[in-house]
Structure 1
Amino acid sequence: MKPFILASGSPRRKELLKQARYTFSIQTSDVDETVNPQLTPSEVVCELARKKAEAVAQNHPDVVVLGSDTVVVCNDQILGKPSDAKDAKAMLTSLSDRDHSVLTGVAICEKGEVTTFFEETVVHFYPLSEEDIDQYIETGEPFDKAGGYGIQGFGAYLVHSISGDYNTVVGLPLAKTMRELKHFNIYPNIN
């Protein structure tokens, strides 16, 4: 099996790739995540994924490197990771009883060539009471997740429905990523 490097410290991305039976190593990149404010959300996630992959690839020119980034978009505004409980509460309140988009961008880099793509999933939240929001914030889950929630944990309680790829919301559109990795001769370890 040809291994690759995941340029992300996300435990969710790591778990998804392990679930798909890939052999890979992890090396995080410490890139500046500032982007041009004129970029669309899809351009933002692709740009950030590319920056992460290229930063790691500089030190590993002969290895395939995969970078990824996820954002939550509500009312045409990108919601990042909340800075504190007050910020998390504001984000979750804004998402209550409405649709929002989760976009995950992926960049795959090898020998200076970069392929980028993104997937978008629409998520609809239940109406959330102040008690629902406070209880969720007490779990500690919101603070390292775009939009202030994680669908794969206790945050599933907030989600009424989704339209699109569940794994995009978790942090890596796995089916599309697997198809793209084949172009780089990266395959899961089935045996």
Structure 2
Amino acid sequence: MILQEKYNDYQIILASNSPRRKQFLTDLGLTFTIKPANVNEEYPSHLKGKDIALYIAQQKASVFNNLDTNSIVITCDTIVWIDDMALGKPENSDDAKQMLQQLSGKTHEVISAVCIKSNQKEQLFYDVTQVTFNNLNSLDITYYVDTFKPLDKAGSYGIQEWIGLIGIEKINGSYTNVVGMPMEKLYNELIKW
């Protein structure tokens, strides 16, 4: 594979605990280590949409200042953007249910920003996918939140889970972006890197 050959002599660091992002990089055939970037994910209040995700992805990358010559770090942040506001990870089950009620019957944007960083350069990019939910009833929302516990997911849902099977009417854009990392764009950026 092209990426395996290109990055054979590199130490790739995935700065995320997300099992979905880990699986994506594994599926690309990359060898990597996981070192989560524990940063405060607050952002300046004037930022909107993609600028929020870009800011947080860059904040995560800023933790890695003394990279070896052959090391690169990959960070990512995903937000759900609806009604001119960002939905991050829910604080608790009630918050998750409220978020899903807000998404019900509407179209929202899933925005993922990625930062690739070495000791010589840094590349930031993002992707936006529009997701339309059917009208969700309170029983479906409660079942999903209580059964799947989506407290680690922006907007309180995983498209790859039960709620995606029964609740999503359509998506416009990258599926992997909605899962949590725009793999098509990441692949192309790694090829060019």
TM superposition score normalised by structure 2: 0.90
Q: Distance in 2 between matches of 1:138 and 1:158?
A: 16
Q: Does 1:10 align with 2:28?
A: no
CA drift of 1:154 comes to 1.9
Q: Percent identity?
A: 37
Check 1:144–1:98 CA distance in 2 against 1; reply closer, same or farther (3 A cut). same
3-state SS of paired residue (2:151):
helix
CA-to-aligned-CA distance 1:1-44 (integer Å, 9 cap, x gap) = 13311111111100011111111111111112121110122111
Is the contact made by 1:64 and 1:110 (CA closer than 8 Å) also made in structure 2? Answer: yes
Higher relative contact order (CA 8 A, sep 6+): 1
Letter in 2 for 1:166: Y
CA drift of 1:140 comes to 3.2
CA drift of 1:179 comes to 0.7
Aligned runs of 1:1-150 on 2, under 5 Å?
1=8, 2-55=10-63, 57-62=64-69, 63-150=71-158
Q: Distance in 2 between matches of 1:125 and 1:58?
A: 41
Letter in 2 for 1:60: L
Which ranges in structure 2 are unaligned for 5 or more consecutive residues?
Answer: 1-7
Is the contact made by 1:50 and 1:114 (CA closer than 8 Å) also made in structure 2? Answer: no
3-state SS of paired residue (2:188):
helix
Q: Distance in 2 between matches of 1:174 and 1:85?
A: 29
Q: Distance in 1 between matches of 2:28 and 2:105?
A: 33
CA-to-aligned-CA distance 1:89-129 (integer Å, 9 cap, x gap) = 11111111110000000001111521101000000011111
Q: CA-atom RMSD, angstroms?
A: 1.2
CA drift of 1:60 comes to 2.3
Name the stretch that deviates more: 132-141 or 62-71.
132-141
Q: How many residues align?
A: 183
Q: Which runs of 4+ in 1 moved over 6 A?
A: none
Q: Distance in 1 between matches of 2:191 and 2:68?
A: 19
2:186 matched to which residue of 1?
A: 177
Check 1:161–1:141 CA distance in 2 against 1; reply closer, same or farther (3 A cut). farther
Is the contact made by 1:141 and 1:150 (CA closer than 8 Å) also made in structure 2? Answer: no
1:187 matched to which residue of 2?
A: none
Is the contact made by 2:93 and 2:145 (CA closer than 8 Å) also made in structure 1? Answer: yes
3-state SS of paired residue (2:150):
helix
Which ranges in structure 1 are unaligned for 5 or more consecutive residues?
Answer: 185-191
Q: Distance in 2 between matches of 1:39 and 1:64?
A: 27
